Amino acid sequence: MSKISELSAPLASFALKRPVTVCMFFLSFLILGLVSSRMLPLEKFPGIDIPQIVVNVPYRSSTPAEVERLITRPLEEALATLPGIEEMRSSSGENGADVVLNFAWKDSVSARSIEARERVESMRHLLPDDVERVFIFQFNTEDMPVMQLRISSDQDLSMAWELLNRQLKQPLERVEGVSRVSLYGVQQREIMIRLNPESLSATGLTVSAITTILNQANFTMSAGYLETDYDRILVKPAGEYRNLDDIRTLPITPDLTLGDLATVSYELPRATDGRSFNQSFAIGLDIFKESSANLVDVARAASLLIDDVSRSPEFSGINLMMMDNTAESVTTSLSDLLKAGGFGALLSIIVLYLFLRDWRTTLIIVVSVPIAICLTLGVMYLLGYSLNILSMMGLMLAVGMLIDNAVVVTESIQLEQQATGKIQDKETVIAGASRVSLAIIAGTFTTAIVFLPNIFGETDQITIFLEHVAVSICISLLASLLIAQTLIPMLLSKIKMKISAEPPKPGRFKRGYLNSLRWSHRHPVLTTLLTLLIMASTYIPRSNLGNDETDVAYNDRLFINYHITDQYKLEEVEREVTALETYLYANKDEFELEHVYSYYTPGYAMSTLLLKPDRTLSVAEIQRRVRENMPPLPRSEPVFGFRGGDNSGVQITLQGRSTQELEAIADDLIPVLQSIEGLEDVQTATSNAKNELRIRIDREQAERFGLNANQVAEQIGVALRGNNLRSFRHNPEGDMRIRVMFPEYFSLSLPELQRMVVARVDNTLIHLNQIASIEEVEQLGNIRRFDRQTAVRINANLNEISMSEARTAINNVMANVQLPDGYRWSLDGGFQAQQRQNSIMLVNMLLAVAMVYMVMAALFESLLLPSAVIGSLILAITGVFWGLWLTGNGIEMMALIGMLILMGIVVNNGIVLVDAINQLIDEGVALEEAILEAASRRLRPILMTVATTILGMVPLALGDTQIGGDGPPYTPMAITIISGLAFSTLTSLYFVPHAYSRLLYWRSHWGMVWERSSKPLRSRKQHAN
């Protein structure tokens, strides 16, 4: 008996001596798991900090060049000193600047955010004085809305803010677990003060003077406390406006009130964006949950409230449509997983019974599954993990493996009872359990240890997600190991099994296997050649497999970016959107569309196409059909892309000194890239140059009329965009904004701007063109920078071409392009992400193989024998490639995850065989007989464990279950595990014994050291003598 077996024997012995204690121990964990299942937070994804910080500086009505010079470059200089920055991007536009900092996944984003705030505060004095605020954002997966509602109607909803806020938004905010509710697309009324420019000129009053008076009259403050004999009273002077008449009658001069100079009324703010849903004006509402709240409970309560509101008389004719419900997708995914897991478990139980032919033994083995799962849920709750689609995926994958240890222990005990003839003898049960303890410990550890590099190695999004998969798998497997060492022997000792007086004769299948195994052992050269030939056949499927997914057929929606390259009136952009929506709805059935939702601004538009859940067309085919007859639009070039406007991840970044030169280079490159077959929608992610009016004030001329440049600029600013004052607080619906503007009839045409009255001197009106010159100059579009260097990005979509093929084609084409000195290009976006993730997965797989080897070497006390088992990994990879190729799948991320899991599973069969052979050789059995006897003993448990694991994966392989209900399908992962495990088992039943005998032969002839056994290698003939 090995050291490991000796250490594990007390567990079985304790279980047999204290059966009630053992039962109560596992019953307590069963109860803990049932309780924890209701207390575990249910989420779509675990709460993960995205390693990105965004610094946003609003600066309205400026120019991109000015924003870059005054804001972006100083910010970049200050933020560049932050440690750990992997990538810095910036964008300078006419309304402000954005600086995006990307860090490594292992960095603490919260700490980096604090440091970023310190850097910004230290250089705040370098920014323009009229920069009001600097926003710094960081993101977490929990920040995403759990529900997205779209509100539409045939009636006008532009005045519906009060109704929606009072009847829908505020009640939703009171739902338990809801953190906030965002209502957008409809705006609250505001108090608009429309100044009469002629009246201002006639009185000589300036806009600055009036806004100062208005702000001074609208205030509240604490002035201290008034002490009395019995009390202490707070004194609070208040001069707040209580109604519109308070504003109209506000004295401006001794003879004039504000009503003499302006009109005061309630108005709706001018719309800056628009939304449409199913060709109707739409309003958006997003619901966010608290971090500790249960996703499903929050969504259920919110849905009930929304249903009640929709049936109320006030909402007659108003449609409330749920566009996104994260809880629904999660429950769908969990339901699909439970159905697949339940069906797989049922198949496994049936096969198990067919092998064992005894319902009591089958029931004892099966009972380990619910206990292990409950124990896992309890430990996850105690460790602070949540129940999400990743941890559920881990539990689903583990279901087929949870009975493996119990099967091996049960089979070993039965063989021991068969050999001794003692049915309920405790020593026999302990001996049977101890005989395979080394094998099941090694198998469990090798399965669990493959995830270790992902947890402690290089951190990336995929490794963080795999951590949650690994936790549920590892805990459940360790629980099954504990159950197999304690509960299973105890229960088996309590039942009386039927054992024949003579060992059963091997069946036809076993006899055939043993005869073929004997032949392979006696013909080592042919066996080696055949094994090498099988391994070499890997080249055939590998050369025909794609390295990534070319058609994301699991997507349930498509995004169309209109690629508007200029600023237009909102009504003009709306016409663009309407034209495309009309085309889409005219072909709604052909495109298999269910809904279309659009969002647009003066310089941006995006349409979301929600596809029918039971569609028959692939995503690529729908895109082709939409493109085929898409009408040309005068102001935009619609292309398919991802949410937010980026295209399909194919991005080429050009960097250099001059934006104009970069745009010229990009224009020259677009036809070159369009010549690549499979690249579509090739466009630059820049906006066209625009014209601006530059007003140069003649300071001497202005001073002659008693004006200064600031007063003139302020008056122009009020005419163009207005001015915000302190809020109006005496409003039942909450604070209301007060704005000062010129009348709407004061249009922004150039002639009227030139004739704008800026002062009155001696009853003479002074116009803007008398003190300033106005010229029209060209203004750059948005200025983008990458790692503090000016950059232009070219986007493209893929059509029936893989990412790796696109990379090769782009590299070949760009090799013939000569860029000017100081300019360079790089592949960006999906290329870098895929290359990084594939590199990390490859390194982690190699580390996993090394760690599996070290675990087996430690447990076998041999540096040589683990090599016999490691060889089965190569055969498993051969099976994986053949399986993926024959089923039409590619080597995508889900397949790589399947390979990683497979590495820990596939060696288990070899470990069981090698451990049995070692035990027989230690007992003095000759090599050939030891191999045949071990194979005979372990064939049935190997086949049972493999069958149960494979059958547990079959529902996932044949079904359409997706991660989260709308993510990648489980199919490639399931096919990877099934094909690799099945092929490896079939070949390893011959390869592992063959490799074992060859390694022992080399050890005996070459004097290998550091081996577990110093006994001489004996042949069958020597043993017979």
C-alpha to C-alpha distance for 109 and 122, rounded to whole angstroms: 20
- For residue 966, is pLDDT > 60? yes
pLDDT of residue 1024: 40
Q: 338: which residues sit within 8 A by CB, 6+ positions away?
A: none
Among candidates 91, 21, 138, 182, which has minimal Cα distance to 659? 91
In 843-879, which positions are buried (b, 16+ CB within 10 angstroms) versus exposed (e)?
Answer: ebbebbeebbbebbbebbebbbbbbbbbbbbebbbbb
84 sits in the region (left: phi over 0; alpha: psi -120 to 50; else beta) called left
Strands 783-786, 789-798: parallel, antiparallel or unpaired by DSSP? antiparallel
At 1009, is the pLDDT very low, low, confident or very high (cuts 50, 70, 90)? very low
pLDDT of residue 760: 67
Domains (ranges, CATH) in the chain? 40-141 (3.30.70.1430), 190-267+690-779 (3.30.2090.10), 507-536+861-1025 (1.20.1640.10), 557-689+782-834 (3.30.70.1440)
Tens-digit pLDDT profile for residues 824-846: 888 776 666 667 777 777 888 88
pLDDT of residue 646: 43
Helix (H) or strand (E) holding 652: strand 650-656
Give how far Cα 560 sits from Cα of 564, 597, 606, 830, Å. Answer: 12, 10, 6, 18
At 647, is the pLDDT very low, low, confident or very high (cuts 50, 70, 90)? very low
Mean pLDDT over 28-55 rounds to 83
Overall residue count recorded for the chain in this entry: 1025
Tens-digit pLDDT profile for residues 413-448: 877 777 776 666 778 888 888 888 877 888 888 888
Mean pLDDT over 121-134 rounds to 80
At 1019, is the pLDDT very low, low, confident or very high (cuts 50, 70, 90)? very low
Q: What percent of the chain has pLDDT over 90?
A: 1
C-alpha to C-alpha distance for 33 and 370, rounded to whole angstroms: 9
Q: What is the DSSP letter of 387?
A: B
- For residue 1011, is pLDDT > 60? no
Mean pLDDT over 263-284 rounds to 83
CB 592 within 8 A of CB 615: yes
Backbone angles phi, psi at 938, to 5 degrees: -95, 0
Q: Return the higher-pLDDT residue of 497 and 272.
A: 272
pLDDT of residue 67: 83
At 691, is the pLDDT very low, low, confident or very high (cuts 50, 70, 90)? low
C-alpha to C-alpha distance for 602 and 272, rounded to whole angstroms: 7
Q: Which of 151-155, 704-708, 773-777, 1012-1016 is most confident? A: 151-155
At 239, is the pLDDT very low, low, confident or very high (cuts 50, 70, 90)? low
Among candidates 883, 869, 314, 910, which has minimal Cα distance to 891? 883
Mean pLDDT over 149-153 rounds to 87
Mean pLDDT check: name the lowest of 379-383, 474-478, 754-758, 786-790.
754-758
Tens-digit pLDDT profile for residues 895-954: 888 888 888 788 888 888 888 888 888 888 888 888 888 888 888 888 888 888 888 788
C-alpha to C-alpha distance for 802 and 678, rounded to whole angstroms: 9
At 192, is the pLDDT very low, low, confident or very high (cuts 50, 70, 90)? confident
CB 26 within 8 A of CB 480: no
Instruction: Share the mean pLDDT of the chain.
Output: 79
Place of tokens 């769908």: 332
Tens-digit pLDDT profile for residues 45-91: 777 778 888 888 887 667 777 788 888 888 888 888 888 888 888 88
Mean pLDDT check: name the lowest of 693-697, 785-789, 876-880.
693-697
pLDDT of residue 305: 92
User: Which pTM value belongs to this model?
Assistant: 0.73
Q: 980: which residues sit within 8 A by CB, 6+ positions away?
A: 876, 877, 879, 880, 883, 898, 899, 902, 906
- For residue 648, is pLDDT > 60? no
Mean pLDDT check: name the lowest of 124-133, 245-254, 334-343, 379-388.
334-343
C-alpha to C-alpha distance for 610 and 596, rounded to whole angstroms: 6
C-alpha to C-alpha distance for 426 and 35, rounded to whole angstroms: 35
Q: Which of 483-492, 856-865, 1015-1024 is most confident? A: 483-492
CB 833 within 8 A of CB 803: no
